[in-house]
Amino acid sequence: MEAASFSKSVFLDLAVMICILGALGRLVMAQDQSKLTLSYYDKSCPAAQQIVRKEMDCAVRQNPRNAAAILRLHFHDCFVQGCDGSVLLDDTATLLGEKTASQNVNSLIGFDLVDRIKNQLEGECPGVVSCADLLAIAARDAVLLVGGPYWDVPVGRQDAKTASLELANTDIPTPNQNLVTLIAKFIGKGLSTQDLVALIGSHTIGMARCVNFRDRIYGDFVATSQFDLGSKIYLSKLQSICPEIGHDSKISPMDYVSPNVFDNIFYQSLLKGEGLLNSDQEMYTSLVGFETADLVKTYAVDPIIFFKHFSDAMVKMGNITNPLGGEVRKNCRFVNT
């Protein structure tokens, strides 16, 4: 009886925490965005967005995975110090970058593509377009080029002169974190529960490494998928890719139905209990995920609402700027000398 009462008490505490966090997420605003405008480069580099779009179009045509790569770079950039290009900095004798953080090392790709875009921008408008803006524009184009929504990108961000490996290790969400932790991390950035569930939808074009989904496929995958025959076949395939030991870098799409198309099928997989990452499936099956589960169900049946919420969340996340300001780097991998 005491154990049951304790479990009920813990459940209620978590439920109350979810409600409080959700309310705070609607009240907390992202960091100052007053310097960001849609017209920032109209006079100083009017061809900026066209240059980014052209390079992204070529890159995505060559390899659709480039879309997810750039989108993920932008996300990991914004969650550490704000959207300031710090994720792009290489380690030097005087600066420790973020590329060796637990969620970045052997995982983030697309740096060479960023270099190519930056070289084109520097050729057209030297010292004008920041690397942070480059990522924000390229992320929008990446989504659009694989069938996702369009949104206007406010620009005018500056590039950080510093990076934070420590914050990269603590602030970026991880694949095995529970729902309460995930919501707390998003609220810490001025993003709501709705933003969380919408932005998770970017996994419709993402790939995951075996090391990040091993716990899931050898854990509660069978339970959440309710022993469905189709799910058993899918699980068997995943386990052939990712054994219990080794092959950490083997990859699998998080949306196995349409991995190269930005759509809402990812949410349908969560309804079936087939989310590849623990953190993704938490959106629907967590015992305290009242709001998140409703959003998953909505997005699974209504791609228009998903696209609208995703676009809004991307603008909101992109507006998280580094309050310390910075510079416009000539090379995205190094601060100016």
The answer to whether 298 is annotated as binding is no
84 labelled binding-site residue: yes
86 is in an annotated binding site: yes
**What pLDDT score was predicted for residue 3?**
42
For residue 263, say whether it is annotated as part of any ligand binding site.
Answer: yes
Please give the single-letter amino acid code of residue 10.
Answer: V
Cβ neighbours, 10 Å, residue 9 = 10
Please say whether the structural domain 179-313 has been given the CATH code 3.50.50.60. Answer: no
pLDDT value of residue 227: 73
Q: How far apart are CA 197 and CA 258, in angstroms?
A: 19
Residues 6+ apart with CB under 8 A from 224: 273, 274, 275, 281, 285
Q: Domain-by-domain residue ranges, the chain?
A: 33-172, 179-313
Tell whether residue 204 is among the known ligand binding residues. Answer: yes
Give CA separation, 197 vs 40, 236, 291, 306, 314, in Å.
30, 27, 9, 9, 12
Q: Is residue 294 marked as binding?
A: no
Catalytic one among 74, 76, 247, 309? 76
Domain 33-172 has CATH 1.10.150.120: no
Is position 82 annotated in a ligand binding site? yes
Distance CA 249, CA 274 (A): 21
Known binding residue 173? Answer is yes
The pLDDT value given to residue 6: 36
For residues 52 and 128, the answer to whether their CB atoms sit within 8 Å is: no
Number of CB atoms found within 10 A of residue 122's CB: 17
Q: What is the pLDDT of residue 98?
A: 98
55 is in an annotated binding site: no
Q: Quote the CA–CA distance of 196 and 135 in Å, as a whole number.
A: 20
pLDDT tens, residue order, the chain (337 aa): 444 443 444 444 454 454 444 444 433 344 345 589 999 999 999 999 999 999 999 999 999 999 999 999 999 999 999 999 999 999 999 999 999 999 999 999 999 999 999 999 999 999 999 999 999 999 999 999 999 999 999 999 999 999 999 999 999 999 999 999 999 999 999 999 999 999 999 999 999 999 999 999 999 999 999 878 889 999 999 999 999 999 999 999 999 999 999 999 999 999 999 999 999 999 999 999 999 999 999 999 999 999 999 999 999 999 999 988 899 999 999 999 8
Q: Are 89 and 95 in contact (CB under 8 A)?
A: yes
State yes or no: is 76 an active-site residue. yes
- Do residues 151 and 314 make contact, with C-beta atoms less than 8 angstroms apart? yes
